Amino acid sequence: MPVNVIAMSTSAPLPAAAQGETVTDRLVEANRSYSEQFTDPGMDARPVLKVAVVACMDARLDLHAALGLHLGDCHTIRNAGGVVTDDVIRSLTISQRALGTRSIVLVHHTGCGLETLTEGFRDDLEQEVGQRPTWAVEAFRDVDQDVRQSMQRVRTSPFLQHTGDVRGFVFDVTTGLLREVDPAA
């Protein structure tokens, strides 16, 4: 049996589902095994590497494994697209001002679901439910340009104190490799 709790938390297969069990039941069951091997690392809440990573929620992106991150190393902020929304700025501001992070890493990826959507998604929603969402879909066609826009939003935020180390990348879901995006290109 592997004893590496971190690896198990991200890559161990879940136990086979019993009949009538929901996916959440399986997760709760997996957590029981996790907690049995878990020992209190005695950390405080401030990320050891003083870095916040903003990434897409894509299921193929195992952020900790892909970046060699371990428990306690970083803040992880994820949403559809890894877009720098107001709420991401909120989290980054708290991350920097209350919890001491200094660097920001942005990770978008190839084959993102947002490349297949348009802002028409909101029109469709409005037609269906009778209410227009207040948020933008943040759909995009050019992933590099989208990373640049995210870097720009971070760098120009008045709330962030530390914008000297902001770098953006595209994660290739077929090779597992990160490619850095030149902010000036």
Annotated binding site: 56, 58, 109, 112
User: Residue 119: enclosing H or E segment and its boundaries?
Assistant: none
Type of residue found at 16 = A
Selected binder of Zn ion within 52, 56, 67, 104 (CB under 5 A): 56
125: left (phi over 0), alpha (psi -120 to 50) or beta: alpha
- For 28, list phi and psi in degrees, rounded to 5: -65, -40
CA 84 – CA 46 distance, rounded (Å): 22
Q: Are 61 and 55 in contact (CB under 8 A)?
A: yes
| Known binding-site positions for Zn(2+) | 56, 58, 109, 112
CA 169 – CA 175 distance, rounded (Å): 14
How near is the Cβ of 61 to Zn ion at its closest, in Å? 8
Is there binding between residue 58 and Zn ion (CB under 5 A)?
A: yes
Contact segment (CB under 5 A) with Zn ion among 39-47, 49-57, 67-75, 152-160 equals 49-57
Count of residues that bind Zn ion according to CB under 5 A = 3
Is there binding between residue 146 and Zn ion (CB under 5 A)?
A: no
Nearer to Zn ion, 146 or 160 (CB): 146
How near is the Cβ of 33 to Zn ion at its closest, in Å? 30
CA 102 – CA 169 distance, rounded (Å): 18
Selected binder of Zn ion within 104, 112, 147, 166 (CB under 5 A): 112
Nearer to Zn ion, 93 or 110 (CB): 110
